[in-house]
Structure 1
């Protein structure tokens, strides 16, 4: 096969172009810290990267859902705690009013305080988190408790579970059953206590005290139930955090460049390129002008 000068020149230019391409690839990796900068650089890495990034995005969304779950549960638990403290105070006042040694004015004074505590409980029942009522099931845009003009309390609560997706296919209830804490029967009992004190007739005091203790027990049970779900939420949170670490590590191993190796390869390629330039300069055939100089 006859090799001509044009063939040598073409091969030299082709090799120089390939050398420039390799140098450009290593320089891009060094500048971006990534193995590839476009899918055509390595389709396999690109496809795996899409899958790993989707997985990481899902984990990050679950973390945001968990934060919402924490917010709901902590606010609900705080509301129950406040309700139990207020109920305990109402019980103390009821026992005080039921001892038979109080005057009519004393009973009315106790009734006034119980009325204020009753309205305070109504305010807690209307607690909002991020503009949503947390004690009204899935109807988070509606106020569950209304204070009427005559001081009575009207309750219209939704008891459906408000669920949050905390991992793939796993829904966790983050609200409570509000009727177990702020139900109409509970406020009716408080109203009966207030009315009896205002009337000065405490013959049904023991019965009212028994009803109040029953409501207190239901509150405590609801608090224990949400505490158990909170513990589960913390365990899921720990697992999600582990998944995030693993997902980030896998994504990094798939896409991030080994900078030490890239620097070494770039240095080697630069040496190869210089040698290619030196060889290419000798490919040019001397002309008659070179001999006439």
Structure 2
């Protein structure tokens, strides 16, 4: 079968282009250090790498949520510890004030200390987590969830929520797909409904002679138990998030290793392949120069 000069030229040029494309692909691999630089290089590997990248991005987002949750719970535990210390001190003063031999003026001084402890606890209840979100404010942000009213005698007269809904509402983070964990302690449930504020008020007023000191001590015990139980809940959530963070860190390493195994080149092998393809291309050029028929211009030289 006769092969025309045009057909021969076309086939030779096509083969040269294929060889050059392989050579250029080897050069890209050595430059990037990756097996593929575009999906067409290897669609199967490209699809696997895309899945790994998507899984890694999702894992990193969950890790961010977990880290934020750990920070929130750590700060909460620290503040609850300080609340507990204030309550313990108030109980010490109450027990001292329950002594019948304690002078009334000494009890007034103790009442003023308890009033200061109450102010301290209110300040802790209003603390901000990150400058914007209230630690115990629930879903109430922007203003302090709890407020106080000063009495004419220099003692706090009223302590309570600053507005309806203040200190209420769960703040939750998604730590696994479709699985959330609550990270906040709802301040209204703890400080108001849980009786922390009222326990301090009761001790203070009993020391001032306007309440029953034994009932106040019992109320203080209840408040201490409430805070202790809440710290246990916070600690359990914190531990769960720490374990979850460790698992995500291990996943990240696994994803990175798998991505490297699939996508990274063996540089020594890549250099060898480049040299082979370069020789193939040079040989193809030489063969093309011999195979292609001389033109009329070549005869006229």
Q: Provide TM-score, normalisation by structure 1.
A: 0.89
Q: 1:124, CA displacement in angstroms?
A: 0.3
The correspondence of residues 50-129 of structure 1 with structure 2, limited to 5 A, is 50-129=50-129
Distance 2:78 2:250 in 1: 29
For the Cα contact (< 8 Å) 2:90–2:203, is it kept in 1? no
Q: Say whether 1:148 aligns with 2:149.
A: yes
Contact 2:199 / 2:223 at 8 angstroms: preserved in 1? no
Asked if residue 160 in structure 1 is aligned to residue 161 in structure 2, the reply is: no
Normalised by the length of structure 2, the TM-score is 0.87
Separation in 1 of the partners of 2:8 and 2:89? 100
Distance 2:72 2:298 in 1: 88
Q: Deviations over 1:247-269 (max 9, x none)?
A: 22333333333333222211100
Deviations 1:43-92 (A, max 9, x none): 33333333222111100000000011101110111111001111111111
User: Quick check: 1:180–1:218 contact (8 Å CA) kept in 2?
Assistant: no
**Unmatched tracts of structure 2, length 5 or more:** none
Conserved in 1, the CA contact under 8 Å of 2:26 and 2:274?
yes
Distance 1:88-1:288 versus aligned 2 partners, 3 A rule: closer
- Which one of 230, 252, 260 corresponds to residue 244 of structure 1? 252
Question: How many residue pairs align between the two structures?
Answer: 291
Q: Are 2:17 and 1:23 aligned?
A: no
**More displaced stretch, 271-280 vs 112-121:** 271-280
Structure 1, unmatched stretches of 5+, are none
Question: Aligned-pair distance for 1:154?
Answer: 1.4
Q: Which shifted more, 41-50 or 53-62? A: 41-50
Change (3 A) 1:274 1:111: same
Is 2:140 aligned against 1:139? yes
Deviations 1:180-207 (A, max 9, x none): 5422532123223222323xx3772122
Q: 1:153 to 1:285 in 2, by over 3 A?
A: same
RMSD: 2.4
